Chains A and B, each alone.
Chain A
Amino acid sequence: DGGITQSPKYLFRKEGQNVTLSCEQNLNHDAMYWYRQDPGQGLRLIYYSQIVNDFQKGDIAEGYSVSREKKESFPLTVTSAQKNPTAFYLCASSRGQSNTGELFFGEGSRLTVL
């Protein structure tokens, strides 16, 4: 089945540690995205990539980093510089090379900082 796989589903981190969230897609989509979801707020865009080896900052990129070395993979690193990292993180992809609303989402990764 085609889709987006995020791992791990749940992750606990101590303050000061970097963590990397995995996102893999087999939909052959060009564009991939990372969103953060907090209670009472809409999804907020962290980073997006429209093509391999290229990515752009979204609205809340500070404290995060990404890479796009392969079309299928778009990992997100939450660094120790992120002041409030506890959240639900969603990876998504879309067919086109523009930021289209027809997004396909993974099941999310819930990060908790202890």
Chain B
Amino acid sequence: QKEVEQDPGPLSVPEGAIVSLNCTYSNSAFQYFMWYRQYSRKGPELLMYTYSSGNKEDGRFTAQVDKSSKYISLFIRDSQPSDSATYLCAMEYGNKLVFGAGTILRVKS
């Protein structure tokens, strides 16, 4: 079993839709949770960084962490074609950082 599971998609939505991207994990030691966005043939860029359970909002993006369920989510409101990318979740404890495989998101105009 992988430590971090992420549905690879692709997830295809119409412009303006609310998008929900999710990851589950098995190691309760993870303390820090991140979402990275990766455009095609580019390196990932950090989108959201959270420490505790709960929600964190940044513009159209909301990161949600539920440590009791070992489940994290990224919500994108009013999705735009420019949001089309691969979204990678990542989790860290101590010196260990583990990435999910990434979900491909396609927003159609």
Contacts and interface: CB of A to CB of B under 8 A. Distances in A.
Interface of A: 4, 6, 40-45, 90, 92, 98-108, 110
Interface of B: 2, 4, 6, 8, 32, 34, 41-46, 49, 88, 90-92, 95-102
Contact of B43 (A42, A90, A98): A90
A94 B32 CA distance: 15
Nearest to A88: B41
A110 B96 CA distance: 25
Contact of B97 (A45, A104, A106): A45
B69 to A, nearest CB: 20
Q: Is the interface of A mostly helix, strand, loop or mixed?
A: loop
A72 B94 CA distance: 25
Contacts of B46: 101-104
Given A90-B43, A90-B44, A105-B44, A99 B95 contact: yes
